[in-house]
A = this chain, B = another copy of it.
Amino acid sequence: MRNISQRIGRSASGELVKDPTRLVETYPKVPLTVDCVLFGFEENVLKVLLIRSDLQVFDGLWSLLGDNVLDNEELDDAANRILKERTGMSDIYLEQVRSFSHPARHPGGRVITVAYCSLINIQHHQLKILDHELHWHDVQSLTQMAFDHFEILTYCNQWLQKRIQEHPLGFNLLPEKFSMRELQNLYEAILNQQLDRRNFRKKFASMGLLIDVNEIENDVPHRPGKLYKFNFEKYEKNKRNWIGIDF
């Protein structure tokens, strides 16, 4: 093991490094991938888009949609590329969640991966299905996956549960015009928890971020609900920076 001075890139004599390129060439290199946790919402159930693992050791198991990071490609770009390749969609909510680096997480050797979360309206996209290996899975029914992907999925699911309570991500999973019931179903699916209908509506009403479009549902076998749009402009203007110690 080199000593500290060398490892942090400082010469022992204390003089400045003039050629950073040569310095970087001395760094160990690691295979790096991005794994996308693509969440969707269908039939009031939270889904995740998975592919059957192509590794024999994981025969029959499902895995997240991942790929190598290309040379000089930003991680965000890699994630967007995967999303585009699989769903045909761009300009979609997509966010880095965290890295996973256990040395034995990949059976082929050391591979570090960065997990990204995305929320996709299942209706709005055409899956780029190369074969029958791509599938929307119920999140709740999964128990085992290839690699450490179940751990990653679990982490991202919890991350999403927290995130959706503080940011209006959910609207990406809904049609542009949606009913209160659809919105509540979405929150209940993601939070995996029943919510009080009146208080839920009251909460969103008090935020003043829903626009009543003066239309009603037309394909339901019961009294139709009113339709709303989310007021993204108003939200962006008034983003709060909250103070509230709470643990």
Contacts and interface: CB of A to CB of B under 8 A. Distances in A.
A19 B165 CA distance: 43
Interface of A: 4-5, 7-11, 14, 16-25, 27-33, 51, 54-57, 59, 65-76, 85, 96, 98-99, 101-103, 106-112, 114, 128, 130-131, 165-168, 187, 191, 193, 195, 203-204, 207, 235, 239-240, 242-247
A112 B85 CA distance: 24
A166 B166 CA distance: 13
Nearest to A78: B101
A54 B99 contact: no
20 contacts: A4-B85, A8-B67, A16-B59, A17-B56, A20-B57, A20-B106, A20-B109, A22-B108, A27-B31, A27-B68, A28-B31, A30-B31, A30-B69, A32-B32, A74-B103, A75-B99, A165-B243, A165-B247, A191-B243, A203-B245
